[in-house]
């Protein structure tokens, strides 16, 4: 079965994670896909199971004579974002794509070259999009499909290999996908997540990340008699945001540049809240961003009275480059695998995070590979059949490379 055929099978199983849930997994629907994947792994001759927290684990023993090769792991996540995922997903196939704008069903949305300038590079391929009303789910069901197809290929083509481990995780999109991952049970020396964008991407530098929550307590009195007494919590919230550099937002940054991202806000005169994500690849600049918020909290409490502004910072994940730098063979072999698969390698920083960054700090060095997808987390998500085939080729070549190094 081709990787894209598996993708089409997986994406119609809706698996949005729920950031407001306190259960693991955050949504029971993720078990629907997990059980399908366990059955499919077993059909491929893989020892597999899903645990009570919705983590799927599979083990493939080494080819006789290759037991001394590194035990390699391949990981992808089953959940999607919850945005644009409230009804059935209908993937749409566009054969021999002409490289131009694509009307997405009757949604009123158009996949436009002006917004996605890489589109002309996909001309002539078979493009898979949404109908414009949902996410596609290629993030990260494309990664799952490519891992499954890799397994099928090494078995059908009798490709010698060391021990291979696979895992499919829940709740990556809400940042907890690696929280309950059993590294000891997985039993791999190294791993790769397949959770990137275009084929050929190799990523081992991700953001340092935290969330920052401001709670503002105002002083509400009648506006007609509030001279020198009222403290409008919503206005203080606006003041907080205006104290941040206006250009350091996701829209104004790229590459290794960090940002402050205002995720949500709410409030009235008496109470207000601001919720931010802070991101930076550089550890010292990441700490400086946090210190900026602490200084804002201090200054505004001095201005408006102690207790007016309360800041809570919650750490999320760190830059895995500090771990991967000691095992750069993962990157060099991925580059060589791209060359063998005739895929241009692209070493790019991750402007986000993956399960792999948390797993790297849990003892499983785990850079990230591209799957061939684009425009994740919204109705413009798309991928090509050929891109998935090439991403699968890269993974197969990685398996071969580590077998050659026995």
- Residues known to be catalytic: 79, 172
> Exposure string (b/e) for 221-245, b if CB count within 10 Å is 16 or more?
eeeeeeeeeebbbbebbbbbeeebe
- According to DSSP, the β-strands at 164-169 and 72-77 are parallel
Name 275's bridge partners: 213, 264
Angle, CA 307 vertex, CA 303 and CA 310 arms, to 5°: 100
**Cis bond upstream, residue 140 (ω within 30):** yes
Report the 10 Å Cβ neighbour count for 382. 27
Task: Say which residue the tokens 């003892």 belong to.
Answer: 363
Question: What's the rounded Cα separation, in Å, for the pair 372 and 382?
Answer: 9
Tell which phi-psi region holds residue 67, choosing left (phi > 0), alpha (psi between -120 and 50) or beta. Answer: alpha
The DSSP call for residue 126 is: -
Cα-Cα-Cα-Cα torsion 101, 348, 200, 67, nearest 10 degrees, comes to: -150
Structure token pair of residue 231: 């403290």
Alpha carbon 196 to its chain centroid, in Å, reads: 7
191, exposed or middle or buried, with CB in 10 Å at 0-12, 13-18, 19+? buried
H or E element that contains 191: strand 190-196
Task: Say which residue the tokens 């995720």 belong to.
Answer: 263
Structure token pair of residue 268: 């009235």
Task: Say which residue the tokens 């020892």 belong to.
Answer: 47
Q: What is the sign, positive or negative, of the torsion defined by CA atoms of 158, 163, 169, 173?
A: negative
Task: Say which residue the tokens 């072999």 belong to.
Answer: 333
Question: What's the rounded Cα separation, in Å, for the pair 61 and 49?
Answer: 15
């Amino acid at each position: 079965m081709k990787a894209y055929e598996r993708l089409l099978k997986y994406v119609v199983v809706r698996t949005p994670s729920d950031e407001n849930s306190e259960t693991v997994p955050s949504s029971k629907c993720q078990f629907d896909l997990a059980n399908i994947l366990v059955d499919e792994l077993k059909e491929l001759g893989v020892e597999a199971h899903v645990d009570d927290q919705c983590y799927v684990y599979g083990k493939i023993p080494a080819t006789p004579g290759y037991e001394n090769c590194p035990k390699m792991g391949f990981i992808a996540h089953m959940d999607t974002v919850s945005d644009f995922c409230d009804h059935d997903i209908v993937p749409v196939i566009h054969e021999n794509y002409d490289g131009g704008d694509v009307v997405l069903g009757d949604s009123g949305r158009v996949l436009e070259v002006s917004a996605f300038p890489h589109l002309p590079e996909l001309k002539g391929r078979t493009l898979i999009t949404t109908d414009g009303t949902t996410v596609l789910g290629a993030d990260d069901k494309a990664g799952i499909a490519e891992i499954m197809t890799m397994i099928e290929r090494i078995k059908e083509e009798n490709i010698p290999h060391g021990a291979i481990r696979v895992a499919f995780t829940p709740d990556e999109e809400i940042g907890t996908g690696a929280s309950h991952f059993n590294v000891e049970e997985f039993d791999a020396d190294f791993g790769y997540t397949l959770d990137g964008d275009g084929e050929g991407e190799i990523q081992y530098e991700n953001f340092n990340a935290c969330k920052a929550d401001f709670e503002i307590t105002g002083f509400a009195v009648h506006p007609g008699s509030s001279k020198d007494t009222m403290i409008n919590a919503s206005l203080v919230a606006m003041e907080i945001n205006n104290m941040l550099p206006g250009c350091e937002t996701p829209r104004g940054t790229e590459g290794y540049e960090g940002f402050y991202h205002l995720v949500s806000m709410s409030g009235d005169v008496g109470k207000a809240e601001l919720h931010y994500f802070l991101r930076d690849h550089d550890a010292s600049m990441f700490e400086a961003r946090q210190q900026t918020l602490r200084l804002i909290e201090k200054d505004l409490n001095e201005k408006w009275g102690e207790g007016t502004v309360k800041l809570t910072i919650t750490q999320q994940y760190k830059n895995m480059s500090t771990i991967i730098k000691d095992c750069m063979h993962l990157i060099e072999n991925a580059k060589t695998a791209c060359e063998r698969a005739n895929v241009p390698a692209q070493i790019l920083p991750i402007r986000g995070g993956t399960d792999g960054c948390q797993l790297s700090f849990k003892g499983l060095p785990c850079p990230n590979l591209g799957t061939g997808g684009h425009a994740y987390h919204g109705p413009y998500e798309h991928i090509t059949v050929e891109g998935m085939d090439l991403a699968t080729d890269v993974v197969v070549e990685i398996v071969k490379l580590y077998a050659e190094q026995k």
